[in-house]
């Protein structure tokens, strides 16, 4: 197998290219990057995507890409796409593909998740057809050329009545383009499709995924696309009414709206992920890996959103601000927890304060000072909690029989919500 040489072209944007995300568009078997003309035009008028860098890449022997005489796989095509992206500046990118282009996009998302920011598969699948059916198509093209496919493609590609309404438009032009596709390259593409099956990988995809289908598509049906989306964690499927296999050509405005929305959401989630990562680093630095690992192990579907919230807002947005040192933030936190009577949280932050460089004497002084304003009962409970944490660190029982009753922690009240450790 060989990695074919592909070529692509940039659609000009309205903002500095280096500052904008990249969207890679891949066409279907038998078409060229012109398949995306209508969608690109719509994306350019949408404020969410008007400055987007858009790189369209042709398949082997299609459009601007040179013909291929050696066999290749979908994985080889994915590597060839990466080579073009790297030549254009590299980095991570969003990717959308139609049919064969969609399988290449899926391969990239599965094999190179660090490079793919989001995935759009239009009228495609984790497996399309059978190896036997694609071998028959390859043999037919080698015998009679791509011109022999025009009639059948017209029926598969477009919804009933579209070509009549589109007389001389992009649908007709795409059929004309099919005749110019290199026969051997087309045959090699069908053989690559025959050997492709990423169904088992769908459940492990980590990139935001959108599946678009056409209402009248008999090749990759809406039901099949829904199944694909269901198998991808967080996957979404939308079927476009009045469209068939080339839905992005037949309904460019609707397709562009879905893509713009998907990319916008993916960018927001990516930004949130960066903040979450920064917050998690601060959280581990302050509270320690053991505590954070226990907290993460206890996350449930019901508490996941809250844990994400405190990681991003408490630890990334507040604890990471440079206006106060970590020690100063520990002092403020201890005082606040004493005032609120949150002994469970206080115990955790006594340890955190030690990790932040506060001595035991200074921690005790903070609690003594806070007693003047928070009240003696609150300070009493806080001092007991502090004593027990110090004793635990020293490996002894902090609540031994000789301890004064006044400084023993109050009995645990199961109805006190503030005893739950949210750190």
Active site amino acids = 99, 217, 245
Q: Nearest 5 degrees, angle CA 23-CA 28-CA 32?
A: 75
Find, among 173, 187, 189, the residue nearest to 101 by Cα: 189
**DSSP character at residue 205:** -
Could you tell me how many residues make up the chain?
423
Which ranges constitute the DSSP H helices of 18-118? 37-45, 74-87, 100-111
Q: Are 12 and 43 contacting, i.e. CB atoms less than 8 angstroms apart?
A: no
178 burial (CB, 10 Å; 0-12 / 13-18 / 19+) is buried
**Please, what is the end-to-end C-alpha distance for the chain in angstroms?**
53
The secondary element (H helix, E strand) that includes residue 240 is strand 236-240
Task: Return d(Cα 216, Cα 322) in angstroms, integer.
Answer: 58
User: Do the Cβ atoms of 56 and 25 come closer than 8 Å?
Assistant: yes
DSSP, res 410: P
96 — phi, psi (to 5°)? -135, 140
* Contact criterion met (CB below 8 Å) for 230 and 204: no
């Amino acid at each position: 197998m060989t990695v074919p040489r592909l070529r692509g072209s940039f659609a000009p944007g309205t903002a500095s290219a280096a500052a904008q995300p990249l969207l890679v568009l891949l066409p279907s078997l038998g078409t060229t990057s012109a398949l995306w003309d209508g969608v690109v035009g719509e994306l350019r008028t949408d404020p969410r995507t008007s400055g987007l860098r858009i790189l369209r890449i042709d398949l082997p022997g299609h459009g601007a890409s040179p013909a291929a005489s050696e066999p290749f796989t979908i994985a080889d095509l994915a590597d060839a796409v990466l080579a073009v992206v790297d030549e254009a500046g590299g980095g991570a990118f969003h990717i959308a593909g139609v049919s064969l282009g969609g399988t290449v996009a899926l391969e990239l998302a599965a094999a190179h998740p660090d490079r793919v920011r989001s995935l759009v598969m239009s009228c495609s699948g984790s497996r399309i057809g059978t190896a036997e059916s694609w071998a028959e198509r390859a043999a037919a093209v080698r015998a009679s050329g791509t011109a022999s496919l025009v009639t059948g493609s017209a029926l598969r590609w477009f919804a009933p009545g579209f070509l009549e309404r589109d007389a001389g438009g992009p649908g007709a032009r795409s059929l004309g383009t099919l005749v110019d596709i290199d026969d051997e390259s087309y045959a090699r593409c069908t053989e690559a499709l025959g050997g492709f099956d990423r169904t088992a990988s769908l459940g492990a995809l980590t990139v935001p995924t959108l599946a678009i289908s056409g209402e009248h598509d008999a090749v990759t049906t809406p039901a099949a696309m829904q199944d694909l989306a269901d198998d991808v964690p967080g996957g979404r499927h939308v079927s476009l009414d009045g469209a068939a296999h080339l839905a992005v050509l037949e309904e460019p405005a609707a397709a562009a709206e879905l893509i713009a929305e998907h990319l916008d959401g993916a960018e927001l989630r990516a930004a949130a992920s960066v903040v979450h990562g920064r917050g998690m680093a601060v959280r581990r630095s302050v509270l320690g890996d053991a505590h954070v690992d226990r907290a993460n192990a206890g996350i449930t579907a019901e508490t996941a959103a809250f844990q994400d919230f405190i990681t991003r807002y408490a630890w990334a947005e507040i604890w990471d601000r440079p206006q106060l040192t970590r020690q100063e933030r520990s002092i403020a936190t201890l005082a606040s927890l004493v005032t609120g009577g949150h002994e469970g949280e206080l115990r955790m932050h006594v340890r955190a304060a030690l990790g932040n460089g506060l001595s035991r004497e200074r921690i005790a002084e903070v609690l003594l000072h806070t007693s003047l304003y928070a009240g003696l009962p609150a300070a009493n409970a806080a001092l007991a909690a502090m004593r027990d944490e110090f004793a635990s660190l020293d490996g002894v029982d902090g609540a031994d029989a000789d301890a004064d009753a006044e400084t023993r922690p109050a009995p645990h009240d199961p109805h006190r919500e503030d005893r739950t450790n949210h750190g």
